[in-house]
Structure 1
Amino acid sequence: METFDYAIVEEAAKQLYIKALCDLPPDVREALKKAYARETQPAARSIFEAMFKAIEIADTKKTLLCQDTGLPIYKVKIGSNYAWNGAKIKAALYEGAKRATVEFPFRSSATHDITRVNPQTSVGPGLPVTYFDFDAECSDLDILMIPKGSGSENMSQMKMFYPQHGIKAVKKFIVDAVVESSANPCPPGIIGVGLGGTADLVMKLAKDAIARPVGQRNPDPMIAEMEEELEEAINATGRGPMGLGGDVSCLAVHIECAYTHITQNPVAVNTQCWPARRARAIINPSGNVAYGY
């Protein structure tokens, strides 16, 4: 007999959306400080100072880091040692995202594709975007919330390469995608890269990549080396903070990979803006909730 109260998940979903919009993760704060320390261009340094002021205001007034509240994305990992109800989890995430928007309140960024009517709830068909995965080793429910703004999301790119194009062509595509995005994704942020899988999976991999703490390397040494190489190449472009020139054009490059078909090599790029917003809740079967990043 089910005893868990899924109102706990709903409340967590609400609090996560608000926390993600207002409280920048510690690793992002530290990455911005390090970027500022290595930035030599006066104009670029002044942009970093404006970013730090925005963070200070958000911390002091408990308000938004950015007016673009983004589309709500929840990445959910379900522990296998407890009988969680997936349908109830999904319904709770929907209501939690809606309540966050109405009760905080903040501007909804979610609109109908054709009519462009915005119900000011952040939810609707297909929203919130929800991804489910499973953990065989625990009983907890792990929810990671990522609000994704359009400045960065609009710069997403995906291309289906053939194996004969080689890795050099893949790297060029990634760097070109970043350069072409110019100031739109509010750099410097995290450059998420997906390699392999299928056309739909490779975009999810790129989105998974931006969810990692800044600078956390892929466990595969070959991929980690590629991340470092691409970071160096992107920072050498001189795009700089907010695309106005400088030494730091990205905080990190993260790559996630999957096996793919022998005759294809999908590649995707998904950028996260400088306030790489995310918030996490771990909920155990007893209903205890621990918040973090």
Structure 2
Amino acid sequence: MKLKELDELIFELIKKVETNLPEEVVSEIKKAKTKEKTETGKKILKSILQNIEIARDAKKPICQDTGTLTFFIQMGSEFPLRDKLKKALLNAVEKATREIPLRSNTVDPITNKNTGNNIGNYIPYIDLEITEGKDCEITLLVKGGGSENMSALKMFNPTNTLEDIKKFVINHIVEAAGKPCPPTIVGVGIGGGADLSLKIAKKALLRPLGERHPNREISRLEREIIEIANKTGIGPMGLGGKTTVLDVHIELAHRHPASLPVGIVMQCWAHRYGKIRIYGEGGVEWLR
């Protein structure tokens, strides 16, 4: 595979993620519409589903906020295109901005000047993990500004309990209300350092909806937060109803004995993500 082919492949990944919501997300929204009791909530969920269908058919962005692009990459140490990957990512983002098109969402933090191509310092965000072998997996997550603004971090005392963490997460969902465009997916990172807790909270969003954490206690905590959040009455787009969150995913990282950070990252109903595997021996597999 040459650089131009790699550019085109990543461009197609971006296009698919921006215009075609994963079927598992669509399915959860349909289930929510069936369960929703309020007329306003039902109408909003119906409009969301219509929006998804129009975007898919027209191959246009699902939301006017085409977000910031985050690439999670697991690259084999022998992947033959390892020296070309970053260049291909940047080329693809620039082309996607121009041709899909994407809204230019990358501005200087001081001057507010827009770069015009969704490329800037540390943006797009690239998280790279080196693995064994010749293959490379690229996962793209797109998050808009409304949901990103509802991220949170709290440095707990190590003596705090899971019950304290549960209250923090629920209170944050209530305070966020309609700002992250619910129904949301909520990622929670417990442990690590301040930065790591937020990173694993964002990665938690990529777990398939409905899949619980393998740790029974954490799985129970996820279910409890979902149940309580959906009884708050916030509802779709914050206008009332029983569908406030579609799912809650918690991830854990070992921590310093003196620290207990908890990060929260929220994703709007337009949960845009996709994943491909590029085989070092040739060929591509679309995983999500």
CA shift, 1:233, in A, is 1.2
- Deviation per residue, 1:153-173 (Å, 9 max, x gap): 000000100122222211111
Give the Cα–Cα distance (whole angstroms) in 2 for the partners of residues 5 and 221 of structure 1: 46
19, 37, 49: which one pairs with 1:52?
49
State the match for 1:38 in structure 2: 35
104, 123, 127: which one pairs with 1:127?
123
5 Å-filtered alignment, 1:254-293, equals 254-293=249-288
Q: TM-score, normalised by structure 1?
A: 0.94
Q: What amino acid is the match of 1:41?
A: T
State the match for 2:188 in structure 1: 193
- Deviation per residue, 1:4-39 (Å, 9 max, x gap): 533333222212211111000011011111111111
2:77 matched to 1:63?
A: no
CA shift, 1:87, in A, is 4.3
State the match for 2:222 in structure 1: 227
2:111 matched to 1:115?
A: yes
Contact kept, 8 Å, 2:79 with 2:135, in 1: the verdict is no
2:239 matched to 1:206?
A: no
Q: Unaligned stretches of 5+ in structure 1?
A: none
CA shift, 1:152, in A, is 0.1
- Deviation per residue, 1:70-105 (Å, 9 max, x gap): 01110101134x344544312221221111111222
Give the Cα–Cα distance (whole angstroms) in 1 for the partners of residues 240 and 24 of structure 2: 24
Give the Cα–Cα distance (whole angstroms) in 2 for the partners of residues 279 and 214 of structure 1: 14
Contact kept, 8 Å, 2:150 with 2:266, in 1: the verdict is yes
Q: What amino acid is the match of 1:223?
A: I
5 Å-filtered alignment, 1:69-218, equals 69-80=66-77, 82-84=78-80, 86-136=82-132, 138-218=133-213
CA shift, 1:148, in A, is 1.1
Give the Cα–Cα distance (whole angstroms) in 1 for the partners of residues 232 and 213 of structure 2: 23
- Deviation per residue, 1:184-203 (Å, 9 max, x gap): 11100200000000011001
For the residue of structure 1 that corresponds to 2:41, the secondary structure is helix
Structure 1 residues 193 and 163: alpha-carbon distance in aligned structure 2, compared to 1, 3 A threshold: same
CA shift, 1:292, in A, is 3.8
Q: TM-score, normalised by structure 2?
A: 0.95
Q: What amino acid is the match of 1:89?
A: L
State the match for 1:19 in structure 2: 16
State the match for 1:252 in structure 2: 247
For the residue of structure 2 that corresponds to 1:163, the secondary structure is coil
Q: What amino acid is the match of 2:145?
A: S
For the residue of structure 2 that corresponds to 1:110, the secondary structure is coil
- Deviation per residue, 1:131-190 (Å, 9 max, x gap): 112443x53211011111000000000010012222221111111111111111110020
CA shift, 1:277, in A, is 0.5
Give the Cα–Cα distance (whole angstroms) in 2 for the partners of residues 291 and 104 of structure 1: 20
2:22 matched to 1:28?
A: no
Q: What amino acid is the match of 1:98?
A: E
Structure 1 residues 218 and 9: alpha-carbon distance in aligned structure 2, compared to 1, 3 A threshold: farther
Structure 1 residues 185 and 262: alpha-carbon distance in aligned structure 2, compared to 1, 3 A threshold: same
Identity over the aligned pairs, expressed in percent? 38
Give the Cα–Cα distance (whole angstroms) in 1 for the partners of residues 126 and 203 of structure 2: 12
User: What CA RMSD, in Å, does the superposition of the two structures yield over aligned residues?
Assistant: 1.5
Contact kept, 8 Å, 2:191 with 2:262, in 1: the verdict is yes
Contact kept, 8 Å, 1:190 with 1:274, in 2: the verdict is yes
Q: How many pairs were matched up?
A: 288
Give the Cα–Cα distance (whole angstroms) in 2 for the partners of residues 115 and 268 of structure 1: 29
